[in-house]
Amino acid sequence: MKENIDRNNLPKHIAIIMDGNGRWAKKQGAMRIFGHRNAIQAVRDAIEGAGEIGIQHLTLFSFSTENWSRPQDEIQALMQLLVETIVSEMPRVMKNNVRLNTIGDIKSLPTSTYEKLVEAVHQTSTNTGLTVHFALSYSGQWELTEAAKRIAQKVSEGKLSPEEITNATVADHLDTAGIPDPELMIRTSGEFRISNFLLWQLAYTELYFSDVLWPDFRKEHLFAAIEDYQKRERRFGKTGEQVKP
Ligand code: IPE
Ligand code: IPE
Ligand code: MG
């Protein structure tokens, strides 16, 4: 599998909607949180797999703005799991030279979760391998609205004129400023939707949908998605003839 991947045509950035934990648990008659606990191995596999082949950025949709509407006990268990996992995974993260980052409204997370995250980001800030961006309390519409506010603020302070605003201005005010847009987006669990993930950044991303439920996701599934991506012709509005090498 890994051998079939063309190292000269790797995406720089892969984004994943890690979906299907609840259904995975239900299939075995367990509580939803059992699915979330078993999702950790899949996260490890995705990070290790991406690191092994030299991907630079991996964005993992971990908790959406809309997920705040879930039952309180599930939210609490998820936040607790997040704290525990950051602590227990840190040695592995450091060993693998992985840099951690977050996107989203992380100040809205419980204080203990927020503090652990900030600490983890700081602790890994000089690592030089794969950067993993955890999207937490994140949605594309939230991010775009926040960007609009920041741009409007600059205009009202006279630091920016409306005529100067370009696509690049918007991109520079997103949480993902400076990160290349994902070339490949994977969603697991057989759902065909974006669910308010990176709305701006996915403009020209290749989408890959897998039936695998997230807790069952392993390196081989990641490599299969990359292989599929490498067979595609990315045209960016041009004709096939124009983009042929
Ligand atoms: C994804 O799995 C994890 C989060 C959204 C936090 P789900 O919890 O959405 O699992 P399903 O979709 O109910 O199976
Ligand atoms: C998307 O999954 C969010 C995350 C994976 C964190 P959801 O399970 O919340 O998406 P919908 O509600 O089914 O679209
Ligand atoms: Mg879901």
Residue 237: inside a domain, yes or no? no
CA of residue 70 to ligand 3 center, whole Å: 11
Residue 96: inside a domain, yes or no? yes
Check residue 245 and give its pLDDT.
Answer: 80
Residue 141: inside a domain, yes or no? yes
Check residue 74 and give its pLDDT.
Answer: 98
CA proximity to 60, closest of 17, 26, 96, 19: 17
**38 in catalytic set:** no
Check residue 57 and give its pLDDT.
Answer: 99
The residue to mutate among 16, 18, 19, 137, having the most atoms of ligand 2 within 8 angstroms of its beta carbon, is 19
Which residues of the chain are under the pLDDT cut of 50?
Answer: none
Q: Residues for the chain: how many in total?
A: 245
The Cα 244–Cα 242 span in angstroms is 6
Residue 182: inside a domain, yes or no? yes
Check residue 138 and give its pLDDT.
Answer: 98
Say if pTM beats, i.e. exceeds, 0.85.
Answer: yes
CA of residue 180 to ligand 3 center, whole Å: 26
Angle at 145 between CA 125 and CA 16, to 5 degrees: 50
Residue 38: inside a domain, yes or no? yes
Q: Are the beta carbons of 190 and 209 closer than 8 angstroms?
A: yes
Check residue 123 and give its pLDDT.
Answer: 98
CA proximity to 212, closest of 41, 82, 57, 83: 41
| Domains contained in the chain, number | 1
> Looking at this protein, which amino acid is placed at residue 240?
G
CA of residue 240 to ligand 1 center, whole Å: 38
Residue 17: inside a domain, yes or no? yes
* Domain range enclosing 79: 2-232
Check residue 1 and give its pLDDT.
Answer: 82
**67 in catalytic set:** yes
Strand partners, 80: none
Check residue 42 and give its pLDDT.
Answer: 98
Strand partners, 13: 57
Check residue 164 and give its pLDDT.
Answer: 98
Give the domain CATH number at 92.
3.40.1180.10
Which member of 45, 67, 127, 216 is catalytic? 67
